[in-house]
Amino acid sequence: MNKTKLELIKERALLNHVPIIMDDTLETIEKYMKNKKVDKILEIGTAVGYSAICFTKFLNLGGKIDTIERNTEMIKEAKENIKIISQDYKINIFEGDAVDILPNLNDKYDMIFIDAAKGKYPFFLEQALRLLNNDGIIFADNILYKGYVLSDYNKHKQRTAVNHLREYIKLVTENPKLDTEILDVGDGLAVTKIKF
Ligand code: SAH
Ligand code: MG
């Protein structure tokens, strides 16, 4: 059987050790997004565009995805991939560091996918909450970081990331205005909605 263009993009990403969204994480997000199409999605961490391309199926006609990436090699490949799939009119890449770009955004988004520097997750959350529509949803990938986040012992190398991910979990679970689930799918997924 012929592989689809999307399958080829995925295969190439995995071969090059690009940390694309895991299958069960994507399936979980698909369940949350079932029965509702949205107009605007924000993604922090494009890499080669794989997850952004997957998310286009959640969009209403005329809907758009803004995605942020700082690595120029990744941006180049993402642009190629997005063009191959003919989704370039739906996906806009903001080139640069999300820490600089996010504070300058003012659109409202229906879905926000946080999937970049783990040490910046608390900052990304603060910005995501500012940019989220009241009935929107925030997904944060890699929230359990290979199990390190729930483990007592962490190597020095991972400690800073782990502390920031734990802080993210604390912020989303202890804020009385938010409804959050921490799911053990893929590398861990936090799902947050604003309470009505
Ligand atoms: N969402 C992609 C995978 C993203 S991997 C997918 O599932 O297909 C994480 C990406 O975030 C990397 O490409 C990395 O370069 C980028 N990144 C990390 N920190 C960033 C930051 N502060 N600003 C912008 N991009 C960042
Ligand atoms: Mg990820």
In the chain, what percentage of residues exceed pLDDT 90? 90
> Ligand 1 pocket, 101 CB below 6 A?
no
Residue whose entry in the numeric block shows the structure tokens 């604003």 = 194
Residue 25 token pair: 């994480």
> Ligand 1 pocket, 47 CB below 6 A?
yes
Q: How many A from CA of 117 to the centre of ligand 2?
A: 10
> Ligand 1 pocket, 164 CB below 6 A?
no
Q: How many A from CA of 13 to the centre of ligand 2?
A: 13
- pLDDT attached to residue 1: 60
Cα distance between residue 169 and residue 180, in whole Å: 9
> Ligand 1 pocket, 98 CB below 6 A?
yes
Share the mean pLDDT of the chain: 96
Query: Residue 27: what residue type?
Result: E
Instruction: Tell whether the model's pLDDT for residue 196 goes beyond 90.
Output: no
Mean pLDDT of 146-155: 85
User: For the domain that residue 156 is a member of, what is the CATH number?
Assistant: 3.40.50.150
Q: Please give the residue range of the domain that contains residue 18.
A: 5-194
- pLDDT attached to residue 106: 96
Q: How many domains is the chain partitioned into structurally?
A: 1
